[in-house]
Structure 1
Amino acid sequence: MTEKTKILVEGALFAALATLLSVVIPNVEWGDLSLGLIPLVLYSVRRGVRMGLLAGLLWGLLIIVSGHAYILNIWQGLLEYPVANLLVGLAGLYTPAVQRAIQAGERKKERILLLAAVVTAVFLKYFVHFIAGIIFWGSYVQWGLGPILYSLVVNGGSFILNIVVTGGLLLAMTARDTRLLLPQNK
Structure 2
Amino acid sequence: MSRDRLLTMMEVAVMTGLAVVLSNVKFGALWAMGGSISLIMVPIFVIAFRRGWKMGVLTGLLVGLLNLLIGGYVVHPVQLILDYPLAYLVLGLASILVLKKGAVPSITAIVIGLLFATTLRFLSHFASGVIWFGEYAPEGMNVSLYSALYNLSYLVPEMLLTLGVLLLLAKKYPQFFLAKRTRHESDAA
- Please say whether Structure 1 and Structure 2 have the same fold, judged by a TM-score greater than 0.5: yes
Cα offsets for 1:3-55 (capped at 9, x unmatched): 21220121111111111111222841375314210111111111101111111
Cα offsets for 1:53-110 (capped at 9, x unmatched): 11111111111122x212222221121100111111101213443754x4xxxxxx81
1:110 to 106, 109, 121: 106
Match of 1:105 in 2: none
Q: Evaluate the alpha carbon distance shift between residue 172 and residue 98 of structure 1 in structure 2; reply closer, same or farther with a 3 A threshold.
A: farther
2:149 to 153, 161, 176: 153
Match of 1:84 in 2: 87
Gaps of 5+ in 1: 103-108
Q: Distance in 2 between matches of 1:89 and 1:157?
A: 22
Q: Evaluate the alpha carbon distance shift between residue 143 and residue 165 of structure 1 in structure 2; reply closer, same or farther with a 3 A threshold.
A: farther
Gaps of 5+ in 2: 183-189
Q: Distance in 1 between matches of 2:131 and 2:151?
A: 13
Structure showing greater Rg: 2
User: How much identity, in percent, do the aligned residues show?
Assistant: 29
Q: What is the Cα deviation at residue 163 of structure 1? A: 2.2
Match of 2:41 in 1: 37
Match of 1:56 in 2: 60
TM-score, scaled to structure 2: 0.84
Cα RMSD (Å):
2.2
Q: Which AA in structure 2 matches 1:4?
A: R
SS of 1:183's equivalent in the other structure is coil
Q: Distance in 1 between matches of 2:161 and 2:106?
A: 18
CA contact (8 A) 2:57 2:93 kept: yes
Q: Evaluate the alpha carbon distance shift between residue 21 and residue 123 of structure 1 in structure 2; reply closer, same or farther with a 3 A threshold.
A: same
Divergent runs of 4+, >3 A: 94-100
Q: What is the Cα deviation at residue 143 of structure 1? A: 6.6
What pairs with 1:167-178 in structure 2 (closer than 5 Å)?
A: 167-178=163-174
Match of 2:126 in 1: 130
Q: Evaluate the alpha carbon distance shift between residue 154 and residue 176 of structure 1 in structure 2; reply closer, same or farther with a 3 A threshold.
A: same
Q: Evaluate the alpha carbon distance shift between residue 183 and residue 96 of structure 1 in structure 2; reply closer, same or farther with a 3 A threshold.
A: farther
TM-score, scaled to structure 1: 0.86
Q: What is the Cα deviation at residue 164 of structure 1? A: 1.1
Q: Evaluate the alpha carbon distance shift between residue 98 and residue 162 of structure 1 in structure 2; reply closer, same or farther with a 3 A threshold.
A: farther
Q: Report how many aligned residue pairs link the two structures.
A: 178
Q: Distance in 1 between matches of 2:181 and 2:8?
A: 9
SS of 1:4's equivalent in the other structure is helix
Q: Distance in 2 between matches of 1:142 and 1:29?
A: 13
Q: What is the Cα deviation at residue 157 of structure 1? A: 2.5
